[in-house]
Amino acid sequence: MLQAIAADGIIPFLRPFAVTSKNGEPRRALLLTILIAEAGVLLANVDYIAPIITMLVVLMTNACFLCHLITCGDDN
């Protein structure tokens, strides 16, 4: 999902995560996902990382929704 959002250019600062390998693997996006998950494990408390992940999901969902609303208006 992170790679797809970056590839579509919905959130400009995620553009570096749009890069894929020769096999089409989104390695940069996977690395960021692993780092976020590892931070939760290292903190040993989900309560510290949950608000960050929640805000990222809300941000991505709202960006996708707004993009959908904007592109739906172009069908006329």
- Whole-number Cα distances in Å, 65 to 14, 52, 62: 17, 20, 5
Q: Which pLDDT does position 47 carry in this prediction? A: 78
pLDDT in tens, 19-50: 887 888 888 888 888 887 887 778 777 777 78
Give the start-to-end residue ranges of the domains of the chain: 2-75
**Per-residue tokens: 23:** 């096999």
74 confidence band (pLDDT: 50, 70, 90): low
Statement: the pTM of the whole predicted model exceeds 0.75: no
Report whether 3 contacts 20 (CB < 8 A): yes
Q: Taking the CA of residue 34 as centre, how many other CA atoms within 13 Å lie in the half-sphere pointing to its CB?
A: 6
**Per-residue tokens: 21:** 């390998």
